[in-house]
Amino acid sequence: MKSSLVRKINTGYQLTIPPDFREHNNLFIGSMVSVINEGSRLIIEPFKNRSAALRKLELLFKNAPTTFESISEQEVSDLVRHEIKAARRERLKHK
């Protein structure tokens, strides 16, 4: 399936993925995607290598659970959001 649509980037730099694209790629709220910058192209594709990503998360998060394999994708997403907010607060302190 090769198709193209023009979409507007919303406040917060958010982009809505159309329903037919979500359904075709089995994307749901909390699904992880890869965003790839390839020259002048931006490629968004379903993220399929969950175990490699979880190993990287375990290395990145100092207060992480002993293993990410036992928690849901939503819990991983929540943890990532929490760590991003903490990193932003820390960065603001040093400005």
Q: For strands 33-38 and 41-46, give the pairing.
A: antiparallel
pLDDT at 53: 63
Dump strand ranges (E) for the chain: 33-38, 41-46
Cβ neighbours of 74 (radius 10 Å): 10
pLDDT at 10: 92
Query: Looking at the predicted structure, is the pLDDT value of residue 65 above 60?
Result: no
pLDDT at 1: 59
Taking residues 45-51, what's their average pLDDT?
A: 74
For the entire predicted model, the pTM comes to: 0.46
Would you kindly state where each structural domain of the chain is located, as residue ranges? 11-46, 50-93
pLDDT tens digits for 3-44?
A: 778 889 999 899 899 998 888 888 888 788 888 889 998 888
Helix or strand or coil: residue 95? Answer: coil
Residues pairing with 36 in the sheet: 43
pLDDT tens digits for 49-62?
A: 666 666 666 666 65
